[in-house]
Amino acid sequence: KLSQRLEAVANYIPRGSRLADIGSDHAYLPCYAVKKGVVPFAVAGEVVEGPYQSAKRQVKMKGLDEQIIVRKGNGLEVIALGEIDCVTIAGMGGALIASILEEGKNKLDSVKRLILQPNISALTTRQWLLDNAWELIAEEILEEDDKIYEIVVAEKGDPLKPYKNLQKELLLGPLLMKQSSAPFQKKWRNELKNWQRILKQLENAAESEETILKKKELNEKIRMVEEVLDK
Ligand code: SAM
């Protein structure tokens, strides 16, 4: 059975897409999407030998060799120009996701939708989308096994459209902020506690230019998050 997290990612794949799942590990996501008839064809990309072998094994075991090609390579280098119209990248840090997109930019011409699930630093992912004319069209946050996951979905468009207060919404997610769901509240309540703890430590430490700057940054973030938390 697929994790709730990957099922939520799969829910955003447009029916009939030619899919590429980058950093596919066991290729659970493309196997699920093909088996359910959501997509007719998928590429599963992996840069590391072990996960690449797991992906090949899984695809074979499910009898999906005809529809899913497993390719070994770094990021988007596993897809050909014009081959793919939906890319999923899940279960990595937001900075790694952004760097994969940046390095493979030229492969994105035919791609209509990106579905990204950064484990940390969704901010970096949103920033890349903003800088590259991808418009956020959906965001989701969910809790599974005591972890909270964010999903960010984008299509080419006006990247500024969902934003009113850039700094704050890049951090929190403009659409997640509007929904303000229970996992959203929980995630930012936890972050807030964390920052307050660090701030206390800094206040007890010797003052330097660095600690002053760090405190300023933390206070700024604390203020932004306090504004969106339910009382
Ligand atoms: N996408 C799956 C999921 O969400 O469950 C697997 C996530 S797993 C934690 C991250 C995978 O990304 C690893 O298997 C790793 O080898 C792969 N990976 C990391 N950097 C990559 C890159 N630049 N190109 C392709 N795969 C990469």
Write the Ramachandran bin of 144: left for phi over 0, alpha for psi from -120 to 50, otherwise beta: beta
Cα 180 → chain centroid: 18
Measured from the Cα of 25, ligand 1's closest atom is 14
pLDDT in tens for each of the 231 residues of the chain?
Answer: 899 999 999 999 999 999 999 999 999 999 999 999 999 999 999 999 999 999 999 999 999 999 999 999 999 999 999 999 999 999 999 999 999 999 999 999 999 999 999 999 999 999 999 999 999 999 999 999 999 999 999 999 999 999 999 999 999 999 999 999 999 999 999 999 999 999 999 999 899 999 999 999 999 999 999 999 988
Q: What share of the chain is helix, strand, coil (3-state, %, to 5)?
A: 50, 20, 30
C-alpha angle 68/69/73, rounded to 5°? 140
Q: What is the 20 CA–ligand 1 centroid distance (Å)?
A: 13
Measured from the Cα of 117, ligand 1's closest atom is 4
Amino acid at 3: S
Q: What is the 115 CA–ligand 1 centroid distance (Å)?
A: 14
Q: Whose CA is nearest to atom 14 of ligand 1?
A: 25
Amino acid at 53: Q
Give the C-alpha separation, 20 to 30, whole Å: 8
Q: What is the 211 CA–ligand 1 centroid distance (Å)?
A: 35
Mutation test residue for ligand 1: of 1, 48, 88, 117, the one with most atoms within 8 Å of CB: 48
Token pair belonging to 54: 């797991």
pLDDT of residue 1: 87
Q: What is the 185 CA–ligand 1 centroid distance (Å)?
A: 28
Q: What is the 161 CA–ligand 1 centroid distance (Å)?
A: 30
